[in-house]
């Protein structure tokens, strides 16, 4: 009996980001709806064919989306936010306006899909009445069959994950109503000849899946199973090992998908300890769907053999650990990477080849795998990965400064800032002109000196603007950076930028995470030139602007041959060297941004403490070597921090700025019970919207914060950097902000 293989999801964006371009063209009105559907269909079908040709037996359908698969699922079941319900519920326009907002309606929130950098649209359940608007999956299943000759494996976000990730009071009620609708969808797929249906339930790997949750799950899956005949249900988990393995394998489904790559071997331990039901299929995630490195297939074979001790080969399906939407499409088109790095890469297409090769080997159709491992072993043995100088004993580096109170005094003496000092978070508008200049420079059509001159011109312009506005602490504006992590990825050693390694972040927005391929170290200053140029233009303090070690780690593709903590430690020393370079050159305030601090947080509560400890230590190692009078700032955004105040405090930064206004000030309440004594700026206006807030609104935000924080510690700043705003808007809003601060200052 042959072992089979499967894939869980394929990147929608296309090799050349065709998908993104199509979406944006449609939004701009350059395509009719008909053209849009047809062009999307071409992409969709080509992805199916590609997977089949790569040798995948169970090709996923329904994973393709025009925006987000969670939104697809919500809309399919009529979970449409109240404010959009006066529109045609099955129209493309409604779909996109839920995701992106429309003239008079705000978009639904979006948030991170588990611990990935993919963002889904949060379904809003309140006031909805679930109903099947149309069986999208059936349509896609038929399309694959009729037009590509592929009997696909329909993939759908499961009811427990869908409701758990939604917002609203009536989750339980909605869940009950959803169950018969899932049955209906599956039933129709069964009639059309679906062999397997994959139900994605990653919620089972989180702490949400406690005993009570599993009990509820059992009932729901019993109902679903009862409604079906011959079609088989595959309950798919990923990203880590399920919390309740024993209960999970007793659910009434035909197969279970488990991640055997992450969570340091936990899944295999559970398999050994508790076994696996004889009548069930195990879809084993044995190729890492999250990283970009070639698998060491000889090791993978050993893993598969261990699994085979517990599961018969006719009941084993080999697959990636999760959907491949989290990795770029193909490593084949990389042009700028060191050849040793390039030959160790495996993006989505290469991962499918690995799956096929592994399956053939296990089925005795391929004799050896040793050639495959060569790329990765060559990189492992090379100098790139083995800079002995950076394998320092990290504990030799100080992580503590003198007390915050002593620092505060020294800093006040040095800077004499007014109460409620005003500042910004770092970046100023990246106009078309700025982008064009950077692009020309990268392509080599703008010389070093012309480019420097251009950047310096922008810095000067904005130093003047900031002085005129009357801001107290200035920034240089970050015009030289496309992205806060990419910029450091280009300059630090041991990291590289790919030419085409895009992954979807949200909607049509794609990001290109740097690759940490080797030992990371600092060779020469990254930010000194621009910062010093700015500081020389003004008597006011200019903050040096750095990306912190935790954020660089969490927003990069990281080598997987050493623990992440080891990479983090190397990054912390590289940033420490940058901090020292700035201080030595006379920069008195240095901001080390950590917007992604929360992102690495493990799902399981028991693992969180260790992560936070390592992260805090790394940040402190980066920043602790400066003199007491040097002021360390940090900044955080993108997520909720209410439950992290202790860790934030532990960073021991002199001043922290946190995005606040989008969560409608919820964060402020945390300071009612937690006494935070260092400098803090809770963003007083939202920078994600072009809307210019009024003075009253900003004063209200400041005063609300001052109810729980001291005027002597509070800073007035926007929520985040202003790179996405227009120049006029940015100046206008800052003008109001400075005025609001002055008014509050008089009252304070």
- Give the catalytic positions in this structure: 688
Q: Among 67, 80, 56, which residue's Cα sits nearest to residue 26?
A: 67
Contact stretch for ligand GLN (CB under 6 A) within 24-32, 162-170, 284-292, 715-723: 715-723
Q: Are 546 and 527 in contact (CB under 8 A)?
A: yes
Q: Look up tokens 């930064």; give the residue.
A: 653
Which residue in 186, 721, 737, 740 binds ligand GLN (CB under 6 A)? 721
Site mask for ligand GLN (CB under 6 A), range 597-636, x = bound: --------------------------------------x-
Query: Is 592 a residue that touches Zn ion (CB under 5 A)?
Result: no
**Number of neighbours of residue 38 by Cβ within 10 angstroms:** 11
Has 326 been labeled as part of a binding site?
no
**With contacts defined by CB under 5 A, how many residues of the chain interact with Zn ion?**
3
CA-to-CA distance for 564 and 264, rounded, in angstroms?
A: 12
Q: What is the 3-state secondary structure (H, E, C) of 642-683?
A: HHHHHHHHHCCCCEEEECCHHHCCHHHHHHHHCCCCCEEEEC
Which residue in 241, 720, 731, 734 binds Zn ion (CB under 5 A)? 720
Q: Look up tokens 């941004």; give the residue.
A: 593
Distances (CA, A) of 139 to 93, 178, 260, 315, 445: 19, 20, 32, 29, 49
Q: Are 176 and 236 in contact (CB under 8 A)?
A: no
Give me the residues paired with residue 496 across strands.
515
Q: Look up tokens 């969570």; give the residue.
A: 263
Task: Tell me which of Zn ion, ligand GLN, none is bound by residue 483, counting a contact when its beta carbon lies within the kind-specific cut-off of 5 to 8 angstroms.
Answer: none
Count of CA atoms in the C-beta half-sphere (13 A) of 493: 16
Task: Tell me which of ligand GLN, Zn ion, none is bound by residue 294, counting a contact when its beta carbon lies within the kind-specific cut-off of 5 to 8 angstroms.
Answer: none
Has 241 been labeled as part of a binding site?
no
CA-to-CA distance for 517 and 559, rounded, in angstroms?
A: 5
Q: Please report, in angstroms and rounded to a whole number, the separation of the first and last CA atoms in the chain.
A: 79
- Radius of gyration (C-alpha) of the chain in whole angstroms: 27
Q: What angle do CA 160, 161, 162 make, to 5 degrees?
A: 90
CB closer to ligand GLN out of 271 and 484? 484
Which residue in 217, 321, 423, 427 binds ligand GLN (CB under 6 A)? 427
Q: Among 394, 425, 313, which residue's Cα sits nearest to residue 686?
A: 425
Q: Return the H-helix or E-strand segment holding 196.
A: strand 196-200
- Phi and psi of 546, rounded to 5°? -125, 155
Query: Is 651 a residue that touches ligand GLN (CB under 6 A)?
Result: no
Q: What angle, 0 to 180 degrees and rounded to 10, lies between the N-to-C axes of helices 432-443 and 448-469?
A: 160
Has 635 been labeled as part of a binding site?
yes
CB closer to Zn ion out of 227 and 665? 665
Q: How near is the Cβ of 483 to Zn ion at its closest, in Å? A: 13
Structure tokens at 740: 């609001």
**With contacts defined by CB under 6 A, how many residues of the chain interact with ligand GLN?**
13
Has 662 been labeled as part of a binding site?
no
CB closer to Zn ion out of 548 and 595? 595
Q: How near is the Cβ of 642 to ligand GLN at its closest, in Å? A: 18
Comparing every residue's Cβ against ligand GLN, the nearest one is: 721
CB closer to ligand GLN out of 304 and 597? 597
Q: Look up tokens 């405090």; give the residue.
A: 649
Query: Is 550 a residue that touches Zn ion (CB under 5 A)?
Result: no
Which residue in 148, 280, 425, 651 binds ligand GLN (CB under 6 A)? 425
Query: Is 637 a residue that touches ligand GLN (CB under 6 A)?
Result: yes
Query: Is 484 a residue that touches ligand GLN (CB under 6 A)?
Result: yes
Query: Is 295 a residue that touches ligand GLN (CB under 6 A)?
Result: no
Query: Is 720 a residue that touches ligand GLN (CB under 6 A)?
Result: yes
Query: Is 549 a residue that touches ligand GLN (CB under 6 A)?
Result: no
Task: Tell me which of Zn ion, ligand GLN, none is bound by residue 456, counting a contact when its beta carbon lies within the kind-specific cut-off of 5 to 8 angstroms.
Answer: none
Q: What is the 3-state secondary structure (H, E, C) of 336-380?
A: CCCHHHHCCECCHHHHHHHHHHHHHHHCCCCCCCCCCCHHHHHHH
Query: Is 284 a residue that touches ligand GLN (CB under 6 A)?
Result: no
CB closer to ligand GLN out of 51 and 717? 717
Widest distance between CA atoms in the chain? 81
Contact stretch for ligand GLN (CB under 6 A) within 220-228, 260-268, 386-394, 720-728: 720-728
CA-to-CA distance for 702 and 747, rounded, in angstroms?
A: 12
Q: How near is the Cβ of 542 to Zn ion at its closest, in Å? A: 19
Has 112 been labeled as part of a binding site?
yes
Query: Is 545 a residue that touches ligand GLN (CB under 6 A)?
Result: yes
Has 489 been labeled as part of a binding site?
no
CB closer to Zn ion out of 31 and 637? 637
Has 129 been labeled as part of a binding site?
no
Which residue in 31, 233, 268, 637 binds Zn ion (CB under 5 A)? 637
Give how far the C-alpha of residue 616 lies from the chain's centroid of Cα atoms, to the nearest Å. Answer: 20
Hey, is 527 helix, strand or coil? coil
Query: Is 534 a residue that touches ligand GLN (CB under 6 A)?
Result: no
Give me the DSSP letters along 420-464.
S-B---SB----HHHHHHHHHHHHTSS-HHHHHHHHHHHHHHHHH
CB closer to Zn ion out of 345 and 658? 658
Has 262 been labeled as part of a binding site?
no
Contact stretch for Zn ion (CB under 5 A) within 275-283, 354-362, 588-596, 602-610: 588-596
Query: Is 667 a residue that touches Zn ion (CB under 5 A)?
Result: no
Q: Are 567 and 516 in contact (CB under 8 A)?
A: yes
By CB under 5 A, name the binding residues for Zn ion. Answer: 595, 637, 720
Q: Can you say which residues are annotated as belonging to the binding site for L-methionine?
A: 425-427, 478, 593
Q: Can you say which residues are annotated as belonging to the binding site?
A: 17-20, 112, 117, 425-427, 478, 509-510, 555, 593, 599, 635, 637, 659, 720
Q: Can you say which residues are annotated as belonging to the binding site for 5-methyltetrahydropteroyltri-L-glutamate?
A: 17-20, 112, 117, 509-510, 555, 599
By CB under 6 A, name the binding residues for ligand GLN. Answer: 425-427, 478, 484, 545, 593, 595, 635, 637, 720-721, 723
């Amino acid at each position: 009996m042959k072992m089979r293989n499967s894939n869980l999801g394929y990147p929608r964006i296309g090799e050349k980001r065709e998908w993104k371009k199509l979406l944006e063209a449609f939004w701009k009105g350059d395509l009719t709806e008909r053209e849009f559907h047809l062009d999307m269909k071409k992409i969709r079908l080509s992805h199916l064919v590609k997977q089949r040709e790569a040798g995948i037996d169970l090709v996923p359908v329904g994973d393709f989306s025009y925006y987000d698969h969670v939104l697809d699922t919500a809309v399919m079941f009529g979970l449409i936010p109240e404010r959009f319900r006066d529109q045609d519920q099955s129209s493309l326009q409604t779909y996109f306006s839920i995701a992106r907002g429309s003239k008079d309606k705000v978009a639904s929130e979006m948030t991170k899909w588990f611990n990935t950098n993919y963002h889904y649209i949060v379904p809003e359940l309140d006031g909805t009445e679930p109903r099947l608007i149309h069986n999208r999956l059936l349509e896609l299943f038929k399309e694959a069959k009729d037009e590509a000759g592929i009997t696909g494996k329909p993939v759908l976000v499961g009811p427990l994950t869908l409701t758990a990730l939604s917002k609203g009071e009536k989750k339980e009620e909605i869940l009950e109503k959803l169950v018969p609708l899932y049955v209906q969808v599956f039933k129709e797929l069964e009639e059309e000849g679906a062999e397997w249906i994959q139900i994605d339930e990653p919620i089972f790997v989180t702490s949400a899946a406690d005993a009570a949750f599993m009990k509820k799950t059992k009932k729901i899956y019993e109902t679903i199973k009862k409604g079906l005949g011959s079609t088989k249900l595959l309950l798919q988990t990923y990203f880590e090992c399920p919390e309740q393995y024993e209960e999970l394998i007793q659910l009434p489904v035909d197969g279970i998908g488990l991640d055997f790559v992450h969570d340091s071997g936990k899944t295999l331990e559970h398999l050994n300890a508790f076994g696996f039901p004889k009548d069930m299929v195990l879809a084993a995630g044995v190729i890492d769907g999250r990283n970009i490195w070639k698998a060491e297939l000889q090791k993978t074979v050993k893993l598969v053999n261990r699994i085979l001790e517990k599961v018969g080969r006719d009941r084993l399906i080999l697959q990636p650990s999760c959907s491949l939407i989290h990795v770029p499409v193909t490593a084949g088109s990389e042009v700028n990477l060191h050849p040793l790095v390039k030959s160790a890469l495996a993006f989505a297409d290469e991962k499918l080849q690995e799956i096929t090769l592994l399956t053939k080997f296990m089925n005795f159709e391929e004799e050896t795998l040793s050639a495959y491992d060569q790329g990765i072993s060559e990189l492992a043995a090379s100098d790139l990965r083995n800079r002995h100088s950076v394998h320092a004993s990290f504990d030799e580096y100080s992580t503590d400064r003198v007390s915050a109170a002593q620092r505060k005094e020294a800093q006040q003496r040095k800077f004499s800032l007014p109460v409620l000092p005003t500042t910004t978070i770092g970046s100023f508008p990246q106009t078309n002109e700025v982008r064009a200049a950077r692009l020309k420079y990268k392509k080599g059509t703008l010389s070093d000196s012309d480019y420097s001159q251009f950047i310096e011109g922008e810095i000067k312009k904005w130093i003047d603007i900031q002085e005129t506005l009357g801001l107290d602490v200035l920034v240089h504006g970050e015009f030289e950076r496309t992205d806060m992590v990419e910029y450091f990825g280009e300059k630090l050693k041991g990291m590289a930028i790919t030419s085409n390694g895009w992954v979807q972040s949200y909607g049509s927005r794609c990001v290109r995470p740097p690759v940490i391929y080797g030992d990371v170290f600092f060779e020469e200053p990254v930010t000194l030139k621009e910062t010093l140029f700015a500081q020389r233009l003004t008597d006011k303090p200019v903050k040096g602007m750095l990306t912190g070690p935790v954020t660089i780690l969490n927003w990069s593709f990281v080598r997987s041959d050493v623990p992440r903590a080891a990479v983090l430690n190397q990054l912390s020393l590289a940033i420490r060297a940058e901090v020292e370079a700035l201080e030595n050159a006379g920069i008195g305030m240095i901001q080390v941004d950590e917007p992604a601090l929360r992102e690495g947080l493990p799902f399981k509560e028991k693992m969180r403490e260790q992560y936070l400890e390592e992260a805090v230590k790394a940040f402190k190692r980066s920043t602790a070597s400066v003199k007491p009078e040097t002021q360390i700032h940090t900044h955080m955004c993108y997520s909720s921090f209410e439950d992290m105040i202790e860790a934030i405090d532990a960073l021991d930064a002199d001043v922290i700025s946190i995005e606040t206004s989008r969560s409608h000030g919820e964060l402020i309440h945390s300071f009612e019970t937690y006494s935070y004594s260092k400098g803090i700026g809770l963003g007083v206006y939202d920078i994600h919207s072009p809307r210019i807030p009024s003075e009253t609104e900003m004063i209200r935000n400041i005063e609300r914060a001052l109810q729980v924080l001291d005027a002597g510690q509070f800073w007035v700043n926007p929520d985040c950097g202003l790179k996405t705003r227009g120049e006029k808007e940015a100046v206008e809003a800052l003008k109001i902000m400075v005025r609001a601060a002055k008014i509050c200052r008089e009252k304070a």
